[in-house]
Amino acid sequence: MKALLIRDLRLALRAGGGFGLGLAFFLLVAVLVPLGVGPEGGMLGRIAPGILWVGALLACLLSLDRIFALDYEDGSLDLLVVAPIPLEAVVAVKALAHWLVTGLPLTLVAPVLGILLNLPAGGYGWLVMSLALGTPALSVIGAFGAALVVGVKRGGLLLSLLVLPLYVPTLIFGAEAVKRGAAGLEAGGALALMASVTAAAVAVLPFAAAAALRVNLR
């Protein structure tokens, strides 16, 4: 399993694996939104939590179809199925690798983009915390979606149609936590609800994704 994780990380980091693409997209969103809505600080600060969360979500979406598609095409997914580790663990490791190269960097740069968007001072802690707790759910849900469409050629658009509705609870709770934190209100409740969504997704979805993979490789 460790070998698989290291392999996936290497593949993502080298040879145009799409690492950094998500980050660049996230940065672009944060730059384009003030250009679009105008530089007025108060309004930017109000919409910053939502923009940052939606940006992170879309940036995550960009690299989802790479989770299984490349391995499916070159046949290594067939080998992983017969490997001596359960397929559920393969899914979990691949989701973890996806999170390490997208979710984690997004979480780390988010405060910088918060400055660009004039996020109120109280929001930074909540922003980092909510992204750190929420992006694993984005990766796991994405892995489930990617497993569903792995057999479909050019499934990228279909993948986003399937995955985006599943992102709704995480997005609402996550953005709400940051918004409340930025407004100086108590935000722990929203954060706890989002973390529980993440925990449930991480616990259950690898099984659903593995079932979908088995169907696709039948």
Please choose, from the candidates 164, 183, 131, the residue with its C-alpha nearest in 3D space to the C-alpha of residue 64: 164
Residues of 193-218 as b/e, b for ≥16 C-beta within 10 angstroms?
A: bbbebbeebbeebbebbbbbbeebee
Q: Which stretch binds another protein (CB under 8 A): 22-30, 39-47, 66-74, 210-218?
A: 210-218
Q: Is 208 in the site for another protein (CB under 8 A)?
A: yes
Q: Contact letters (x/-) for another protein, 181-200, by CB under 8 A?
A: ---------x--x---x---
d(CA 77, CA 107): 29
- CA 57 from chain center: how many Å? 6
Quick one: which of 57, 110, 133, 149 contacts another protein (CB under 8 A)? 149
Among 19, 72, 99, 173, binds another protein (CB under 8 A): 173
Burial label for 130, CB within 10 Å (0-12, 13-18, 19+), is: buried
Nearer to another protein, 34 or 169 (CB): 169
Binding of another protein by 158 (CB under 8 A): yes
113 vs 212 by CB, closer to another protein: 212
Q: Which of 85, 108, 168, 192 binds another protein (CB under 8 A)?
A: 168
**87 binding another protein? (CB under 8 A):** no
H or E stretch including 111? Answer: helix 104-116
